[in-house]
A and B are shown apart, each in its own frame.
Chain A
Amino acid sequence: MEALALKSTGITKYFHDPVKLAVLNGIDLEVKKGEFVSIVGKSGCGKSTLLYVLSTMDRDYEGTLEINGVMATGKSINALAFLRNSTIGFVFQFHYLLPDFSCLKNVMIPGLRLGKLSYKEVEEKAYEKLKMFGVEDQALKMANKLSGGQQQRVAIARALINDPAIIMGDEPTGNLDSKNTGVVFDLFQKLTKEYGQTIITVTHDEDFADRSDRIIEMADGCIVTHNKKLK
Chain B
Amino acid sequence: MKVNVNTEIAVTYLWARKKQTLIAAMGVMFGISMFIFMQSLMKGTNDYFEKQSFSNTAHIRIYNENKIADTHIMETAMGDSSVKLLVNPKQVQQSLSIINPYGLIRMLWKDPLVADITPQVTADVIYAGGNVQLNGNVFGVNIVEEDKMFDVQSNMLKGDFHDLDRVSNGILIGKGIADKLSLHLNDNITVRAATGAPVIMRVIGIFTTTIIQTDNSKAYVNIKQAQNLLGKDRNYVTDIKMTLKDYNLAPPKARELERITGYKAEDWVQANEQLKAAFKIRAVILNSVIGVILLVAGFGIYNILNMTIYEKIKEIAILKATGFSGQSVISIFLQQAIYIGLIGAVIGLLVGFFLTLAVSKIYIGAGNLKYLPMSFYLPHYIEGVGFGILTTIAAGYFPAKKASKVDPVTIIRG
Interface residues of A (CB under 8 A from B): 48, 52, 55, 57-58, 77-78, 81-86, 90, 92, 96, 98-101, 105, 109-110, 112-115, 118-119, 158
Neighbouring A residues of B9 by C-beta, 8 Å: 98, 109
In the complex the two chains form, is A110's CB within 8 Å of B412's CB? Answer: no
Neighbouring A residues of B321 by C-beta, 8 Å: 55, 57, 84, 90
Question: Nearest Cβ distance between residue A116 and chain B, in whole angstroms?
Answer: 12
Q: Which residue of B lies closest to A92 (CB)?
A: B412
Decide if B320 is an interface residue (CB 8 Å cutoff): yes
Question: Contact string, B297-340, partner A, CB cutoff 8 A, digits 1/0?
Answer: 00000000000000000110111111111111000000000000
Among A78, A83, A112, the residue within 8 A (CB) of B326 is A78
In the complex the two chains form, is A57's CB within 8 Å of B326's CB? Answer: no
Question: Contact string, B377-398, partner A, CB cutoff 8 A, digits 1/0?
Answer: 0000000000000000000000
In the complex the two chains form, is A114's CB within 8 Å of B409's CB? Answer: no
In the complex the two chains form, is B2's CB within 8 Å of A119's CB? Answer: yes
In the complex the two chains form, is B325's CB within 8 Å of A78's CB? Answer: yes
Shortest beta-carbon contacts, A-B, top 3: A85-B323, A112-B5, A100-B16
CA distance A134 to B133 in the complex (A): 108
In the complex the two chains form, is A113's CB within 8 Å of B323's CB? Answer: yes
Neighbouring B residues of A98 by C-beta, 8 Å: 9, 315, 318-319
In the complex the two chains form, is A118's CB within 8 Å of B323's CB? Answer: no
Neighbouring A residues of B322 by C-beta, 8 Å: 84-85, 90, 109-110, 113, 158
Further contacts, 9 of them, CB under 8 A, given A84-B321, A96-B318: A55-B321, A81-B323, A81-B325, A81-B328, A98-B9, A100-B16, A110-B323, A113-B324, A119-B3
CA distance A82 to B325 in the complex (A): 7
Decide if B145 is an interface residue (CB 8 Å cutoff): no
Question: Nearest Cβ distance between residue B69 and chain A, in whole angstroms?
Answer: 81
In the complex the two chains form, is B325's CB within 8 Å of A100's CB? Answer: no
In the complex the two chains form, is A114's CB within 8 Å of B408's CB? Answer: no
- By secondary structure, the B interface counts as helix
Q: Which residue of B lies closest to A109 (CB)?
A: B5
Total CB contacts across the A-B interface at under 8 A: 69
In the complex the two chains form, is B412's CB within 8 Å of A114's CB? Answer: no
Specify which of B3, B328, B409 lies most central, judged by the most chain A CB atoms within 10 Å of its CB. B409
14 contacts between A and B (CB under 8 A): A55-B321, A78-B326, A81-B320, A85-B322, A92-B412, A96-B314, A96-B412, A98-B9, A100-B13, A100-B15, A101-B12, A112-B8, A113-B324, A113-B328
Question: Nearest Cβ distance between residue B7 and chain A, in whole angstroms?
Answer: 10
Q: Which residue of B lies closest to A49 (CB)?
A: B413
CA distance A57 to B5 in the complex (A): 21
CA distance A98 to B12 in the complex (A): 11
Among A48, A100, A114, the residue within 8 A (CB) of B323 is A114
In the complex the two chains form, is A52's CB within 8 Å of B12's CB? Answer: no
Given contacts A98-B318, A100-B13, A118-B2, contact A52 B413 (CB under 8 A): yes
CA distance A52 to B325 in the complex (A): 17
CA distance A119 to B320 in the complex (A): 21
Neighbouring A residues of B16 by C-beta, 8 Å: 100
CA distance A122 to B129 in the complex (A): 98
Question: Nearest Cβ distance between residue A24 and chain B, in whole angstroms?
Answer: 13
Question: Nearest Cβ distance between residue B207 and chain A, in whole angstroms?
Answer: 71
CA distance A52 to B323 in the complex (A): 14
Specify which of B2, B321, B328 lies most central, judged by the most chain A CB atoms within 10 Å of its CB. B321
In the complex the two chains form, is B325's CB within 8 Å of A77's CB? Answer: yes
In the complex the two chains form, is A78's CB within 8 Å of B327's CB? Answer: yes
Q: Which residue of A lies closest to B314 (CB)?
A: A96
Question: Nearest Cβ distance between residue B35 and chain A, in whole angstroms?
Answer: 33
CA distance A158 to B322 in the complex (A): 9
Q: Which residue of A lies closest to B316 (CB)?
A: A98
Q: Which residue of B lies closest to A85 (CB)?
A: B323
CA distance A57 to B9 in the complex (A): 22
Q: Which residue of B lies closest to A111 (CB)?
A: B5
Question: Nearest Cβ distance between residue A16 and chain B, in whole angstroms?
Answer: 13
Q: Which residue of B lies closest to A101 (CB)?
A: B12
